[in-house]
Structure 1
Amino acid sequence: MHIDHVCRAIWSFITRLSEGARRLFLRGVAELVKRNDVAALYHYATMIEEHAYMDSPDVAWPGFFKQYDCLDHVELPKPPEQSGVDVFSAIRLRRSRRSYSSEPLDLHEVSAVLYHAAGIRGWDGDWPLRVYPSAGGLQPVEVYLAADRIDGVERGLYHYNPLNHSLCLLRNGRYMDTLSAIALGQDHVAKAPAALVMTAVYSRTASKYAARSYRYVHLDAGTVVQNVYLAAEAMGLATVVVGAFYDEELCRLLGIDCYNEIPVAIMPIGKRL
């Protein structure tokens, strides 16, 4: 797009903002120029003040759940209700662990991790109640699973369906080396028997909170990441959160658009050495 068209589009956007939102946006532009930091623009433009909370969103509500046409389904066993490790101990003992046994995971371990990451713990009418807290209860986090060495599970890329606590096979194949390459060549990713990939469906949260949603979806995803850490600790598994990856390559792998749904984290997981 020609620079003149870009400038006109930005000016048109600014003029549609409320007075308070316009002031904060222009302050963000000034900070961007001053600091040479694009994050400063977003930071200031999405601040909340008495007369500038956020302009009304223009984003359609996409629903709580993604549904795929699956190549196959894997029904997950009922997750355990107790582990024998109390929550205070799990918090204290939690570590980022990058070494994994060559032994495969079993389906009960996978079930426990997925459920306690992003499962449904109940319903309030038609509103799902999840195991992680979420801004406005809008639940933007989706979880995918790259399975390489899981007993009874075919190698492939799966989507976790919390509605019926199952895995939906999207593509057959081995993906741990691919994920390692996408994660800037971090070798430990390729050595794990499986990996969770967390994304955030930005439009779920943006349908209510507009641009500030980009702050909220990462808060939500952070609670899911910690849930995975604690579940892994409770079961004696190893995991680590990986936030460095080539975004567009990971989006292509998952088949998502990198805007309405954005990749947030990769978490390789396996038994400890």
Structure 2
Amino acid sequence: MSNQKHDAKKRKLLKLIGGIVIVGGALATWLGLERLQSNRTSSITRNGATPSEKGIFLPLPRFASGVMLEEAIAWRRSIREYKDEPITIENLSMLLWAAQGLTEFKYGFRSAPSAGGTYPLEVYVSISGKGVLVNGAEYLPSGSYKYYGFDHSIKLIKSGDVREDLAKASLNQEWVRKAPVSLVVFAVYERTMKVYGQRGEKYVHMEDGHVGQNIYLMATALNLGAVVIGAFHDEQVKDTMGVEENEQPLYVIPVGVSKEPYRITEEDLAEHFKKVRSLE
């Protein structure tokens, strides 16, 4: 009889412990989700994308290029020759939105995927004196600007045309000197590496590639030309753009109105593949 009572007490105790474990696990899961949402939401502000003080609100993003994704992929090329004319502020708005613009509003997800939603990248833009047309007669002041995805704005960091210094920092690549604007992508590695350790460095570089392709495709859709550049002196680029000490340059991307846009049709592709297959 005593053994039966002992077994009954033991079963009750195990049930109690099991219940505590279940409740504890559920609580831990809930707290984890809350922490994830908090981290992602705070990353909108903590990771540099805060509403800018005395900034310039860009025109709102519009889905109006009229170019299909398939066409943008087919027409994408590294373009280094540009017409001597500005891009529009609407163009600039779409390029920056494609690079790091907000596309989801609960967690602050952006246009390019990021490992763990850590968002290590910051985007700056060099604008020449008559590089960005605001209306028929006005231009954005020349200088180095920082993009803020939270409210889709840019803030002036350094006044004056920095193209010459940026070109020198980029080993005197002439397209940097000639382009009306250059987007410059920087990384704050610790945002990702504090979560993923040394592996996080690879994730940052993957994300940089995503952003570069987004800019390429948006430029193509807007009938602009762009080329990604990785050959430059890091410290000179940082000094030229006036960035934070922990922001490291990864891309310089000149953008302008293309002199000779590349075009290919669905029929061109079909003709090529039919010809190649006939030789097999």
Answering whether residue 86 of structure 2 is matched by residue 100 of structure 1, we say: no
User: How far is the alpha carbon of 1:193 from its aligned partner?
Assistant: 0.4
Bigger-Rg structure (1/2): 2
SS of structure 1 residue aligned to 2:82: coil
What is the CA distance between 1:63 and its match in structure 2?
A: 2.7
- Structure 1 residue 253: Cα displacement: 2.3
Q: What is the CA distance between 1:257 and its match in structure 2?
A: 5.6
| Counterpart-to-counterpart distance in 2, 1:271 and 1:130 | 26
Provide the TM-score with structure 2 as the length reference.
0.71
1:200-254 CA distance string (max 9 Å, x none): 1111101201111111101001100000000000010011001000011112223
SS at match of 1:230: helix
Q: 1:68 to 1:252 in 2, by over 3 A?
A: farther
Q: Is 2:118 aligned against 1:138?
A: yes
Alignment equivalent of 2:247, drawn from 261, 264, 268: 261
Name structure 1 gaps, 5 residues minimum: 1-60
Q: Which amino acid aligns with 1:109?
A: N
Q: CA deviation at 1:74?
A: 1.5
Report what 1:123 is aligned to: 105
Deviation of residue 262 (structure 1)?
1.2
Q: Which residue of 1 aligns with 2:46?
A: 63
5+ long unaligned stretches in structure 2:
1-42, 134-138, 260-280
Counterpart Cα distance in 1 of 2:218 and 2:116 = 25
Task: Give the aligned partner of residue 273 of structure 2.
Answer: none
Q: How many residues align?
A: 209
What corresponds to 1:251 in structure 2?
238
Residue 82 of structure 1 aligns to a residue whose secondary structure is coil
Could you report, residue by residue, the CA deviation over 1:177-196 in whole angstroms, capped at 9, with x for unpaired residues?
11110000111110010100
CA distance in 1, matches of 2:243, 2:86: 29
Q: Separation in 2 of the partners of 1:150 and 1:77?
A: 13
Could you say which residue in structure 2 is the equivalent of 1:147?
127
In structure 2, how many angstroms separate the alpha carbons of the residues matched to 1:216 and 1:117?
16
Hey, which of these two has a bigger chunk of helix by percent? 2
Structure 2 Cα separation of the partners of residues 254 and 104 of structure 1: 20
1:206 corresponds in structure 2 to: 193
Residue 255 of structure 1: how far off its partner (Å): 3.5
Q: Could you say if the C-alpha distance between residues 170 and 164 of structure 1 is closer, same or farther in structure 2, counting changes exceeding 3 Å?
A: same
User: 1:32 is matched with which residue?
Assistant: none
What is the RMSD computed on CA atoms of the aligned residues?
1.8
Shift of 1:68: 9.0
> Per-residue deviation at 1:120?
0.3
Secondary structure of the equivalent of 1:121? coil
- 1:95 aligns to what SS in structure 2? coil
How far 1:84 sits from its partner (Å)? 1.2
1:146 alignment partner, SS class = strand
8 Å Cα contact 2:51-2:151 kept in structure 1:
no
Identity of aligned residues (%): 37
